[in-house]
Amino acid sequence: METPTNMTIKGILGILMASIDEDKKRRLISLGMGDPTAFSCFTTTDIAQDAVVQTLQSRKFNGYSPTVGLPQTRKAISEYLSTSLPYKLSSDDVYITAGCTQAIEVAISILARPNANILVPKPGFPIYELCAAFRNVEIRHFNLLPDRGWEVDLDSVDALIDHNTVGIVIINPGNPCGNVYSYQHLKKIAETAKRHKILIVADEVYGHLAFGDNPFVPMGVFGSMVPVLTLGSLSKRWIVPGWRLGWFVTSDPKGIFKNTKNIERLKKYFDICGGPATFIQAAVPCILENTEEVFFTRTLGILKQSSDLCFKKIKEIPCLTCPQKPQGAMSVMVKLNVSLLKDISDDVEFCFKLAKEESVILLPGLTVGLKNWVRITFAAEPSSLEEALDRVKSFSERHSHQQKVHIELS
């Protein structure tokens, strides 16, 4: 098997953690992963927790669910998603997956065929590359433009598409860049996809986590123009990534993708795979209907505060540049100016030395497709975030070219 083991986020983070110098006795602060549950300010709502306890204790959900998911769960998610769409999804459009990761796996597997290729953003989320490798699907990377709010480089998209291209993946709100695309830009993407007759895989795992100028617009809004496969989960908005409750949805009101054959294929794929725990599925209707707005607002408030803080602190660090203030999701991409550093040659070395010397974990951009960039997850306790970035600052000062400054002054 040719799959690269070292290129997963968890893999790299594991290696970075291992190089922490335990003698330093400093509190480890990880800004490496999109899992804010490590910080006590990020907890799920009691409504969600109680709902799951209730379904478990009812003893009615210890058996297998239908492989496409419990009907009440599918219905509840279809209603939840439809509130943001100009048409109504039916429960048949919704398939329950074990987290968004499995939804990605479904999307890649269902589109795979000999010689197929899928367009994936760079920087992006490496699970796409890994799933594609397992299913023998070729990956082609299109660029996101840092000086244009990380918008899709539609010219590069046009150049990459050929008759074997089956789809394009759009991650919005963006991981790793923290962008939230405007309605106009999403429309342009949809028009491009339509022109080339490929469908869109809309990774909306960070759906509704938008705290900047652009509101979150689901790609499904353009579902009548081009078929959209929407991927999502409870993980981010409800802060429960460990519950593994996600969905794969056909946002395709014209029925271009969801013809009888494709639906059969989807059902057959779900037949041979396992889905999430039945009692967690059973709690979803209650969770979606009863979670109060105040919970969502509170989370967004903390994220906005952290992202503002993160942006501000990065400006104080000369070797790091943040081209775009984060607008949503949980992380931001920051460019590393290696020429300002005296003994660090790239992002990987930067992150390793930082881990060792300062007990701070950042993710090398190489992992997500951009060498000499760094991904910083700002979804953390503001005080921890501040302390971590202070340590990054002192680290960079220690490793900067002092001499250059002197030469310029004299």
Partner 1 sequence: MGTKEWKFRENRNLRTAATFSIKRVLDDVNRNLDRSDGRPIIPLSHGDPSSFSCFRTTQVAEDAVVDALRSAKFNGYAPKGGALQARRSIAEYLSRNLPYKLSPDDVYVTLGAKQAIEVVLSALSRPGANILLPRPGYPVYEAHAVLNHLEVRHFDLLQEKDWEVDLNGLETLVDDKTVAMVIINPGNPCGNVFTRDHLQKIAETARRMGILVIADEAYAHLTFGSNSYVSMGVFGNLAPVLTLGTLSKRWLVPGWRLGWIARSDPDGIFEEHGVVECIKRSLITNTEAATFIQAAVPQILENTTDDFFVQTINILQEDADMCYKWLKDIPCFTCLQKPQGSLFLMVKLDFSQLQGINDDMDFCSKLAKEESVLLLPGFVLGLKNWIRVTFAIEPSALEEGLARIKAFCMRHANKQ
Tell the smallest beta-carbon distance from residue 101 to partner 1 (Å).
5
Q: Which two tokens stand for residue 155?
A: 């010219």
Stretch that binds partner 1, among 35-43, 142-150, 351-359, 371-379 (CB under 8 A): 35-43
Minimum Å gap between C-beta 111 and partner 1 is 6
Cβ atoms within 10 A of the Cβ of 86, count?
11
275 binds partner 1 (CB under 8 A): yes
Q: Which of 24, 265, 312, 356 binds partner 1 (CB under 8 A)?
A: 265
CB 63 to partner 1: min, Å: 4
Q: Which is nearer to partner 1, 35 or 347 (CB)?
A: 35
Q: How far apart are CA 340 and CA 336, in angstroms?
A: 9
Rule CB under 8 A: is residue 257 a binding residue for partner 1?
yes
Could you give phi then psi for residue 339, rounded to 5 degrees?
A: -65, -20
Which two tokens mark 150? 């990380």
Smallest separation, CB 279 to partner 1 (Å)? 6
Backbone φ and ψ for 59, nearest 5 degrees, come out as: 65, 15
What residues numbered 284-303 form the site for partner 1, per CB under 8 A?
none
> Residue from 21, 24, 27, 62 that binds partner 1 (CB under 8 A)?
62
- Gap between the Cα atoms of 91 and 93, Å rounded: 5
- In contact, 105 and 260? CB cutoff 8 Å: no
How deeply is 83 buried, as exposed, middle or buried, from its count of CB atoms within 10 A (0-12, 13-18, 19+)?
exposed
Q: Indicate whether 41 belongs to the interface with partner 1 (CB under 8 A).
A: no
CA-derived radius of gyration, the chain: 22
Q: What does each C-alpha distance from 5 to 54, 125, 259, 367 come to in angstroms?
A: 40, 15, 37, 11
Shortest distance, CB of residue 25 to partner 1, whole angstroms?
A: 23
Helices marked H in 65-126 — which ranges?
Answer: 71-82, 99-111
Q: Shortest gap between Cβ of 390 and partner 1 (angstroms)?
A: 25
Calpha distance 340→167 (Å, rounded): 40
Residue span 309-348 as binding mask against partner 1, x where in contact by CB under 8 A, dash where not: ----------------------------------------
CB of 289 to partner 1, least distance (A): 20
Using the rule CB under 8 A, give the single segment among 202-210, 259-267, 290-298, 305-313 that binds partner 1: 259-267
Site for partner 1 in 153-192 (CB under 8 A): 163-167
Query: Quick check: 405 binds partner 1 (CB under 8 A)?
Result: no
Binding of partner 1 by 18 (CB under 8 A) = no
Give the Cα separation of 313 and 395 in Å (integer).
14
- What residues numbered 209-238 form the site for partner 1, per CB under 8 A? 227
User: Taking the complex as a whole, how short is the minimal distance between the CB of residue 280 and partner 1, in angstroms?
Assistant: 6
Site for partner 1 in 106-125 (CB under 8 A): 109-113, 116
CA 209 to CA 324: how far, in whole Å? 17
Q: Which two tokens stand for residue 73?
A: 């769960």
User: 139: which strand partners?
Assistant: 118
Among residues 42 and 350, whose Cβ is nearest to partner 1?
42
Separation of alpha carbons 183 and 222, rounded Å: 10
**Shortest distance, CB of residue 156 to partner 1, whole angstroms?**
18
Out of 15, 41, 43, 160, point to the residue binding partner 1 (CB under 8 A).
43
Tokens for 135? 């299913």
**Nearer to partner 1 by C-beta: 15 or 145?**
15
